[in-house]
Structure 1
């Protein structure tokens, strides 16, 4: 008489898993302990294993329970048959991750040679679909051992073999043994199947960054408190941050974005392109126009569109309005000459169709300068515009847009150098003036040694020409056109032209190295000039200025440093009368040029002199021979 007891334990929510343990106890009248590793071939085991593409067992349907104890598994007995219906378990909440981690299957669940589902594979001893009739046809086990992860400190190994009985039948012998790892660095336990490898992480983009941030930070300790702190910090910070879209205030009180036209997929302008905070941007795009229709009606051509903008100092609701100041309006003619216009207050110039094929006061270039504080709040905003004439021959219209950011409240003045110690090609020359206390240098980049930057048709005296800093190692040639009336004062014109060629507040000294200190006047080289303004009966005006800069390589051959050894200013005056133009007056081209001349001597190999022996012997050294 046998007694069978089934005891079920239900453990809920342990490491996010629902686990049901079913223990079977069998008691018989004659108690006997067996240690045989043999599984009876009469037991009909039908096990279906569904495997994913990656080889991970995800579902097991058991029609015959497989004991977990290796000694019990090797016993020959009839096992109770359980139904395929699983017990109804109460619904459990999912873990924080939103899904249950996959279970770690035992080593007896793996069968690498089981290639066909529902069919017994030849010589596959671990195949659950094989019966005793199939085993009698086997010649051996193709896979005799199946091991677990060898990275664990102790892992199970399943052994499979075939043995002939006394009656001549083949029986399957299987056992599971635990092997210990001799490696010091091993894994003690594994509770997740995918814990030994990591899937390819999703690359963060502007679309999925928030989702990834919420997914991974939810597992961090104290994430709720940090989320609250970051949420409060975001509300406390009212200034803009990097790449934030700056906001504007409309006339109706609604908020908008500060936009800067930029080319899209093609070269055509896209007017609703937002400008990001602290991201200097420069764009060049074109527009197709019909002059007689778009000259006075298209907003993109009008100065009002780029001037009547009210920026908000911050992101908060009660942010102050930062007015946009117009600091410069330049009118460019059809010959590309530019003239500075005096625009007072909020006065604007609207596009006007002067001729059927010519539109005046069209916006050609817009430059925004935005100053901000260390807290990210806008302090001041200004705009400079270039207006011009557009004809049918110049279509499509080319427009330039630029936005620059400059921090307002800088603690200490930044002194910029052009090398350490030698000059670097492309860096501006370090220049200064000599005073009674020593050398002095202006921190304003506009006060450094500079050259003209204008076209040959630019009027030299009509408007202050634009200038660019003198860059080391880069030759340049530029100029402008001098137009004089008959009643012009020659001496006054000569002085004005000298200021145009040399620049305002022209420095007289140049540093020999890129980091020459002000405390060492010997490292500063004076600019030599032989030009002397003389009073002559004829009109003698300077027509060209040439700077000749001589430099050499100083130091080791492995790492030579560029050093300026001399700079000479050469000014030429007109040797003949000026060219007369129709209608009275005269015209003369004015040029400015810079050249860098290397004066380094070629390296010569040096050899040390042969050593000489300077030894004095005592007077009795050769006694008694001498």
Structure 2
């Protein structure tokens, strides 16, 4: 029974969503390991760079040329013996456990002339063709190696670069309309384009009654009704000659849309002036959020999610990380993009944002654990080989440009039987040096819908440290909703949510309640691995005042558990995250919200088998399982701003003289002598009010009513 429970818990309670890169760096640091990322490079220029990750202290670098074996075709093991090459190796510290390794070619790439004796040039067009091996050694023992395939061509410089021949720019003579603007296809008939000369008479008869109207159909635009030449004297109103527009017909809204230019051939002749070079095209530098362009000025696309659906051709934005999963129902082996790709299709050239270009370096990996991509593994069926399961792009950037791009393509073989749900992964990460460029969640206050930034403290050797970013998570049920196959989703600021998964528990598991409670606790603890939460949306990892501790409500171990052979009490089945936020100020009229406290608590509930309703199999069979829910929730609460002392009960309940809460405002009846009148100072309004009262009394005394009263009195 104990072995069965241990095997069950090991299959259910092992968290799988751990960052591979951070895990490897942590293991490399503790086990004194090192690795080059990437481990293979292709150099087409005089410089090449790679990252050395892991334990880099007391590590020396050696460089030597290597050659493949004639029999096996393999390259020998790494060596710590340094050889003399035409390359120079330099290093630059990029982080605590990362070092930039740069190789620079110490040779001129100029092509040698026929009778030149200088050796510092390239005798052939293919100047450099060799394979280099960089080894990271500690104490004469190689720990990691980097293979570089150098294939560099010579630079060709034109011999007559400084010619004095003048080039006259073509004189662009505009026409108001082109001869046939709707002729869009070369040497083919365009439907509804009656002026297309490629259309035969029979073809024009098919759509002669439906030709494109207006200038884009090859028809000159009609004269507008506001032109003075359009209205005749018989039908024009009397005011028309004063309000009509007198303009030549060449001034029309379509002026400049179509051009016809002539090229003037330059005649050779003596010139005493230097040629005037045209200004270079402006370089389009990348900014955060701008689309990355390919060599032919097309948007570089990767499958992403939009409006809840996966889009195969979605543009990639600069400095915008993403990680999405797309589910595809397969009924036959895929034959096209993006599930069937080749390295030549992915090794494209992109614009780097600085006037140059970078090529995508493709690294292939074979998936071993297919459970991450398919829910059920089939034994019999149609084999689909080399299916693209994941495309993980890594963009290295500096300033407003891209320095290099690495793509890790994960392929695998799947077994298809009638239909299969395949989950593929697509991600893009932007790296600056050795640190990930993680997007902020506000500037400075949090924005609603952005992830809550969390982290753990990483202490360095000099007792100083920084906060390594992570996130607060809740359950994200997928496929069958079981906790063994479910995922996690980050907590989004300002959005309350409740989610969970299902855990199969048998009667045998309920006999060992301590193990069951510990297993559920470890499942809930995997959601929150952080100890700090950022106060604002753009925290500094080196300033601890930008972070606040996460308060955990510990479970009372001294509480007596009323366990029975078929039930367990005190199971932490629900985890609640309570986030307290406060409006700290206004920026351009928008409130800035900061996180002031985070409290994580647990709700204990009893788990027992219910054999009612005729289903008695869980109570009879000790291995028969029943699904129990494990839930997680998050709640955001705004701390109210104290604007003054609290109102008394009389102020709250008595509304007769409250002008803001009552339709009839009696204090305003005494305008302008009461304090409620704020149009001018109180002293002036009082004086003017007394003067009005004085005039009213004088008018009453001297007026008819007072005279009638005196007559009646006498």
TM-score, normalised to structure 2, is 0.38
Q: Which has the larger radius of gyration?
A: 1
TM-score, normalised to structure 1, is 0.42
